[in-house]
Amino acid sequence: MTESHRYGAPYLPEDSVLSLEEYLAMQRAIGEKTRYRVLSELLAESELSATELAETLEIPSNRLHYHLDKLETVGLIANRKRKERGADGLYSYYAATALGEAIMTHGVAELLAEERELLERYG
């Protein structure tokens, strides 16, 4: 379907990978300040452990894990594990997914850039 919604927003293509509900769930997930901060930090640093995130963002670990779970459930971040040289067991870290990067780059970031532009032009 190539026609537009009456407000200019395109309809989902018939072969869309995600449903409208999934896209809206992503928007809701980053609509919460802590999750927005987590995703922003992961995009800035590429990958971080939960401990590193908790320290950097000054968030208690139990509260952070709640938000990490929400972001992971909607596909905005991934929890990856790998074996570290000389260490026993697996090292767990979080990274933004391509969808996480896209929603921040083409969603919130564009809105913030547009606001800055309007303030510079008319402010």
Interatomic CA distance for residues 88 and 46, integer angstroms = 24
Ordered by where they begin, the domains of the chain are: 20-122 (1.10.10.10)
What's the pLDDT score for residue 111?
65
User: What is the average pLDDT across 17-26?
Assistant: 82
**Helix%, strand%, coil% for the chain, nearest 5:** 55, 15, 30
Q: Which of 19, 48, 21, 53 is nearest to 35 (CA)?
A: 53
Residues 6+ apart with CB under 8 A from 71: 29, 30, 35, 38, 39, 77, 100
Q: Position of tokens 């929890």?
A: 79
| Helical (H) or strand (E) element with 92 | strand 90-96
88: Cβ contacts below 8 Å, ≥ 6 apart:
none
pLDDT of residue 2: 44
Kindly report whether the global pTM for this prediction surpasses the value 0.85: no
pLDDT digits (tens, 9 = 90+) for 42-83: 999 999 999 999 999 999 999 999 999 999 999 999 999 877
Alpha helices by DSSP H, listed for 13-108, are: 20-30, 33-45, 50-57, 61-73, 98-103
